[in-house]
Structure 1
Amino acid sequence: MNFQRLQSLWSLAGRPSCPPLLVMASRMQMATLTCLSLLLLWSQMPGAQGQKFQFGPCQAKGVVPQKLWEAFWAVKDTMQAQDNITSVRLLRQEVLQNVSAAESCYLVHTLLEFYLKTVFKNYHNRTVEVRTLKSFSTLANNFVLIMSQLQPSQENEMFAIRDSAHRRFLLFRRAFKQLDMEAALTKALGEVDVLLTWMQKFYKF
């Protein structure tokens, strides 16, 4: 992509309009790289610096929770109406309740990575069918932006904290894998509001 094309993308609505992340493999890496570069540039603009997620020692700037909520609300009714297994919850209290600040960095990084690599990736074809691709792309793009800025510590003294956060994530993943894949994807997407509500506790102005 040449510089003039980059400038053209940058000028749209004050924030880059990125191609969907979840595309066929031959173009996915380049599209994702371009999108992420533009989003990271945008996050460094004046006005974006005062808004950030602070997950313990980790932080992510340039993300507006309202945009995430708007994207979810656009698909909420569709996703939750398709969830017929009301007795199961993936993001239950044992996963998200009383998470320490130190744990939060590891946990959110792992959850967002799972949503990107498993949930959004496997649900991509359905988003085209039900015409919700734009909303899911907005969520995915912002999840990438947040995750790319988080740098969980790998120091030995942080092992107990990493282990605690990992155990929480395993509870979520175990519940996900106990369901049929289609049902699990639907439920995970229908619970994005639970994830966003928890994440917003760590949002600083």
Structure 2
Amino acid sequence: MALSFKNILSNFLKNIDTSTIDEFKTHISSSLKSRSKEIEIDYQSLSSDKFESSEDMEGYKLYLDDCAYFTDEMEKLSDEFLIMALYKQLELHVKKATNRLAPSIDTTGFFNVGTLQKELLKKMSINIKLLDSYAAFTELREINNSIKHQGVVSEKLAKANSIWVEGQELNNLSKTYERLKPEISKYVLNFVEELAKIP
């Protein structure tokens, strides 16, 4: 049986590409590890005979402390970027898939779930809340919002997944990225499959 262009296109759109984000993650992780090692070596090589006075040595220790703190902050920032980039990639991919497979659907304000739900239900009985990994989509959206607005776990994020505690600092976002990435891929796959059914 011959495949239609729509089938070919939907097969292509079922996969979300996170390779650029993954490459960034690899590079920044390598860079931060290298910098942390340099700081550690500097600490270990500290010796009073290398300085004119003990005050100079203490001043250099403070400088190294600042370097270590900045490196930790850069790691947190890069972890936040992973989440924000994954969400943005998801947003762009879903909009592209919708525009190509179901151009009659208005994608304005698309990641307002209420608007999205209304548009999909209007065109076809698609309830996005029933899609595989919808919970991962919701969690990702709420982590992204927490990063942008509060900087800590929001009430909505705590409700989205019980591993998060409202008001606490957002930690382990690199691990969260790795946990959510395959679930977001499933969400995209199911979303595109449903879109492809729209005449």
TM-score of Structure 1 vs Structure 2, range by shorter chain: under 0.3
User: Given the two structures, how large is their TM-score scaled by the length of structure 2?
Assistant: 0.28
Larger RCO (CA within 8 A; separation ≥ 6): 1
Higher helix share: 2
Higher strand share: 1
Structure showing greater Rg: 2
